[in-house]
């Protein structure tokens, strides 16, 4: 299987609200985007890596990839206003490479272990879609007027992470018919009837979303 990785990095990080988008903030050295690219370039079965970026970040991006020169790293793709639009732009650009499968990953998850990525690749032998995920372990409660209402069974519930991998032609076709409202790539795939299996994710693969997450990432790299 010819495998490509698509790293989406065109977001603005509004919840973190730092001076620059979170994926470019140095983490005691390389930023999250640099670390994410590096991991996928290190997976030998990944033959192409493409990043989706915001046009305002082009010079930042060029600085990040300066030390990452690799024939597998493709030119950056300009993203859109939503994550889905950014993924779709990236898939369209990657179609020139004719991959058999694509691993879609958030640049804001810089510490995803290689074993998880390899697990997603392995699962794509058997299903058209595979998602890194962790079972929900906390008790879940539905809010009723700001107080605990009724509990919600957590059995069979998963927290989706990335990478989310798919057979390329199937996910491209799914995005072509998607209305843009999907929460993630699995949602786009499921809406198009693509079967998606769960692959063990990792707590280490958390997404930097809030200031607390950034503080954790700075501790993890100290
Ligand atoms: N992303 C993207 N294009 C967008 C929105 C998000 O490529 N229009 C990317 C982000 O750069 C990030 C990943 O999708 O790597 C997950 O999104 P999220 O964590 O929500 O990042 P942001 O959208 O940047 O953050 P926020 O929602 O707080 O603004
Ligand atoms: Mg967002």
- Return the pLDDT at 210: 98
Cα separation values, 79 from 47, 57, 72, 144, 191, Å = 22, 11, 20, 38, 22
State if residue 14 touches ligand 1 by the CB under 6 angstroms criterion: yes
- pLDDT tens sequence across 181-221: 888 999 999 999 999 999 999 999 999 999 999 999 999 99
What pLDDT band is residue 59 in, cutting at 50, 70 and 90?
very high
Q: How far is the CA of 13 from the centre of ligand 2 (A)?
A: 7
Ligand nearest to the CA of 16: 1
Ligand nearest to the CA of 52: 1
In DSSP terms, 164 is beta-bridged to 104, 131
Q: What is the maximum span of the chain, computed from C-alpha positions, in angstroms? A: 55
CB 103 within 8 A of CB 168: no
State if residue 84 touches ligand 1 by the CB under 6 angstroms criterion: no
Among 26, 32, 28, CA closest to 11: 32
- Return the pLDDT at 46: 98
Q: Is residue 179 pLDDT above 90, yes or no?
A: no
- Count of CB atoms situated within 10 Å of the CB of 61: 19
Q: What share of the chain is helix, strand, coil (3-state, %, to 5)?
A: 35, 25, 35
Q: How far is the CA of 117 from the centre of ligand 2 (A)?
A: 22
State if residue 207 touches ligand 1 by the CB under 6 angstroms criterion: yes
Mutate to test the pocket of ligand 1, among 57, 83, 217 (most ligand atoms within 8 A of CB): 83
Q: Pick the residue whose CA is nearest to atom 10 on ligand 1.
A: 11
State if residue 23 touches ligand 1 by the CB under 6 angstroms criterion: yes
Mean pLDDT of 144-162: 95
- Return the pLDDT at 29: 97
- Return the pLDDT at 188: 97
- Return the pLDDT at 58: 98
Provide the token pair at 157. 């519930």
In DSSP terms, 51 is beta-bridged to 7
Q: Which residues contact 88 (CB under 8 A, 6 or more apart)?
A: 80, 175, 178
Q: Is the peptide bond before 185 cis (omega within 30 degrees of 0)?
A: no
Q: How far apart are CA 17 and CA 105, in angstroms?
A: 21
- pLDDT tens sequence across 85-141: 999 999 999 999 999 999 999 999 999 999 999 999 999 999 999 999 999 999 999
Torsion of CA 94, 99, 100, 106, to 10 degrees: -50
Q: Pick the residue whose CA is nearest to atom 13 on ligand 1.
A: 106
- Altogether, the residues listed in the chain come to a count of 222
Ligand nearest to the CA of 9: 1
- Return the pLDDT at 183: 87
Q: Which residues contact 202 (CB under 8 A, 6 or more apart)?
A: 112, 113, 115, 116, 132, 134, 161
Mean pLDDT of 148-172: 96
Cα separation values, 62 from 57, 58, 68, 75, Å = 9, 6, 10, 10
Per the prediction, the chain carries an average pLDDT of 97
Q: How far apart are CA 105 and CA 90, in angstroms?
A: 11
């Amino acid at each position: 299987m010819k495998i490509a990785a698509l790293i989406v990095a065109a977001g603005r990080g509004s919840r973190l609200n730092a001076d620059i988008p979170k994926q470019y903030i140095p983490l005691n050295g390389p930023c999250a985007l640099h670390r994410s690219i590096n991991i996928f370039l290190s997976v030998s079965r990944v033959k192409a890596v493409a990043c989706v970026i915001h046009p305002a970040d082009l010079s930042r991006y060029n600085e990040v990839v300066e030390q990452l020169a690799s024939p597998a790293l493709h030119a950056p793709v300009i993203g859109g206003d939503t994550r889905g639009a950014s993924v779709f732009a990236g898939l369209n650009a990657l179609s020139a490479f004719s991959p058999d499968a694509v691993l879609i990953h958030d640049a804001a998850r810089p510490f995803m272990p290689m074993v998880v990525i390899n697990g997603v690749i392995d699962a794509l032998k058997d299903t058209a879609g595979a998602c890194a995920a962790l079972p929900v372990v906390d008790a879940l409660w539905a809010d009723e007027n700001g107080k605990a209402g009724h509990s919600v069974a957590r059995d069979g519930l998963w927290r989706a992470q990335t990478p989310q991998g798919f057979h390329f032609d199937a996910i491209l076709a799914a995005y072509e018919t998607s209305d843009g409202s999907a929460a993630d790539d699995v949602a786009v795939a499921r809406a198009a009837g693509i079967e998606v299996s769960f692959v063990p994710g990792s707590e280490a693969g958390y997404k930097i979303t809030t200031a607390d997450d950034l503080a954790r990432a700075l501790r993890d790299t100290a």
